[in-house]
Structure 1
């Protein structure tokens, strides 16, 4: 009977050992799956961040292009304002020159009329 009891104890012990190993194996698999899920979530989050950063980058570049266009248009507007100011100044000069010419003509007319006639 001593032999059977040893065998049955060894058999029970080996079954317990196997169950323990299966439990450890399951735990490792669960940990591996948990780690895999965690990494997948990290990858998804990184992809979302990358997409958002890509959108933000595109918006930044579009803003820079718009800013350059605004600066260009402001420069063009300033050039046009200067041209208008020059044209107004030239117009004032021409008007004053024309007025002066008219005055000179009037003076000549008056001068001709006021000269005594020599007979």
Structure 2
């Protein structure tokens, strides 16, 4: 029993630093650089609605959009818009707040999730 490492000893032996090129095949050494290893193809993402449909619903920023485009033509304050939208929904919907508190995107509910069934993204 004395030969086993104690929890503190185990933690001290773990190297938490990312290894060069560990998350990509680019060999750039930057593990966050996924430009060479991730190839997004049609069918891997949800398709955008037609601008006419977006305009009919009265939603903002109705335009042609493709996830593969370099410039998504987002408004300058897009982050503020997202944060405000999340804040409004967290205050309005208790179910959304509970989801945000408990979901760790483990995929255990994926066989029932319409989004996962449609896209394969848990």
| TM above 0.5 | no
- TM-score when scaled to structure 1? 0.16
Max Rg structure: 1
User: Is the helix fraction higher in 1 or 2?
Assistant: 1
Scaled by the length of structure 2, the TM-score of the pair is 0.16
